[in-house]
Amino acid sequence: MDHQQTPLFEALQLHNKVRPISFHVPGHKNGGIFPQQAGQFYQPLLSIDVTELTNLDDLHSPETVIYEAEALLTDIYQSKQSYFLINGSTVGNLTMILASFKENDIVFVQRNCHKSVLNGLKLAKLTPIFIEPDFNEEWRVPTGISKASIEEAFQAYPTGKGVILTYPNYYGFAFDIKSIIDFCHLHDLVVLVDEAHGAHFIAGDPFPPSSLQLGADIVVQSAHKTLPAMTMSAFLHVNSERVSRDKVRFFLQALQSSSPSYPLMASLDIARSYIGTYSDIDKEYLKQQIKGFISELEGISSIRVLSHTTSGGDILKIAIQSNQGLSGYQIQKKLESVGVFTELADPNNVLLVFPLLKSKVEFRLFEITNSFKLALEKKATERTKSAKISIPKTKQTLTSLMVGYKVQEVTPCKIIPINESIGKSSAEMIIPYPPGIPLFMEGEEITVEKVEELHQLLFLGARFHGGAYLKEQKIKVFE
């Protein structure tokens, strides 16, 4: 198939060409009703922010241009059926969980998963068994899980129905997912993969393989994270007959707006075309640019640069750590002061997502690395906040919820001081954001290590989702 084509985007352009008169939604009427000053940003995109008009098809019942655009997507990812999502990887994770499992099913879940996976478990009222991931001492982050831990889980819970994996992790770490998938299929376990950060893996070496290529049954990808799609747009790929496509379709139409955004959908068409035409020359150019960038950063004495150029991980992810005892949050702030905005900070790292350049796109290496130098070579005047916090490593490989989801619904809660909460079950999610991986989960036991990590994160200035009572040093627990 010809991946230069963008059938949905082309249909929108064609519609726009007739200078249509709009007596339909949206209320801005192809941009005609919009405050002028705001129009400076929103025009001309509003001219294609339309609705399910003749010749523009319907996401929830595709027959023409959206059907063709999804066929091209299916072709490039070589799935059974791929779908455009306009409610993020979030709706992909919810859908794959709700479509794959029934109430009370036992599922094995990689613990360092995104909060949307946990919300999916809760909405589906499953019985999760969490598997503790490995830990990388250099980056000081949890990475992936091993085949041995899945074997251990399956031995302990032989009625388990499937696994939910996160591959790669937020920091670009891949792991041997192939042997896990093979083991699971041997034992009739369905394999769900949150591949939010790996939409570009399909381009092949030097990127890690996509879990789609390795046989995962259903895979979610955030197209907007590394491909040039608008924020909130994503892909869902059904890759085997183990997952019911009827159920997937049901949840997608139920959980996504019945007025999906055409600019978002067309940006998925454009992003698919971008990766579908990504060439060896592009990859060579990208590798050179990354190499040059890292080499320049390595010239800055105050930092250490971590990368995946030789590790088999995602080369787009690059981390910076301080040599002077600064936290990631402090480095991030310095970079922002010179106009460089980064993906996330954690106690130790600042994470960068390098652009997926094509060969003709200029990367202003000199100007950009100068900004890094300007920010990071300045004499540190601020007090350092001790980094290298001890990341709690649960001794157990497997943990289950102290209070299951169905019991949670009928269990009263109370709000108590954090320091008195150890041994109790959290009644709220507390999530450092980004990356969005919960530190405390609803129903999970609160441990000494977790409370220590929370105190460290608060001290260092991390941002959170949830944790409404943190300011009062309190937490909601089940009674």
Which residues, 374 to 413, sit near a copy of itself by CB under 8 A?
409
CB of 36 vs a copy of itself, minimal distance in Å: 10
Q: Which of 11, 68, 69, 88 binds a copy of itself (CB under 8 A)?
A: 88
Stretch that binds a copy of itself, among 128-136, 143-151, 154-162, 335-343 (CB under 8 A): 335-343
CB of 418 vs a copy of itself, minimal distance in Å: 18
Residue 91 binds a copy of itself (CB under 8 A):
yes
Q: Which of 19, 379, 383, 395 binds a copy of itself (CB under 8 A)?
A: 19
Stretch that binds a copy of itself, among 85-93, 175-183, 384-392, 453-461 (CB under 8 A): 85-93
Q: Which of 34, 157, 285, 478 binds a copy of itself (CB under 8 A)?
A: 34
Stretch that binds a copy of itself, among 13-21, 129-137, 180-188, 376-384 (CB under 8 A): 13-21
Beta bridge partners of 303: 322
Residue 97 binds a copy of itself (CB under 8 A):
no
Tokens 């150019």 found at:
285
CB of 34 vs a copy of itself, minimal distance in Å: 5
The number of beta carbons lying within 10 Å of the beta carbon of residue 242 is 17
Burial class (CB in 10 A: 0-12, 13-18, 19+), 237: buried
Residue 426 binds a copy of itself (CB under 8 A):
no
Q: Which of residues 189-228 bind a copy of itself (CB under 8 A)?
A: 200, 222-228
**β-bridge pairing 218-221 and 190-194:** parallel
Angle at 115 between CA 218 and CA 404, to 5 degrees: 95
Instruction: Give the residue with the Cβ less far from a copy of itself, 1 or 38.
Output: 38
Q: Which of 1, 14, 38, 407 binds a copy of itself (CB under 8 A)?
A: 38
Annotate each residue in 156-185 with x if it binds a copy of itself (CB under 8 A) or - if it does not, as one string.
------------------------------
- The count of chain residues that interact with a copy of itself, using the rule CB under 8 A, is 108
- Which residues in 386-418 are b (16+ Cβ under 10 Å) and which e? ebebebbeeeebbbbbebbbeebeeeeeeeeeb
Please list the alpha-helical segments (H only) found in 194-235.
223-226
C-alpha count within 13 angstroms, C-beta hemisphere, residue 352: 26
Residue 357 DSSP SS3? coil
Residues with Cβ within 8 Å of residue 441, at least 6 apart in sequence: 118, 401, 426, 429
Residue 417 binds a copy of itself (CB under 8 A):
no
Residue 177 DSSP SS3? helix
Q: Which of 267, 307, 322, 330 binds a copy of itself (CB under 8 A)?
A: 267
Residues with Cβ within 8 Å of residue 295, at least 6 apart in sequence: none
CB of 352 vs a copy of itself, minimal distance in Å: 4
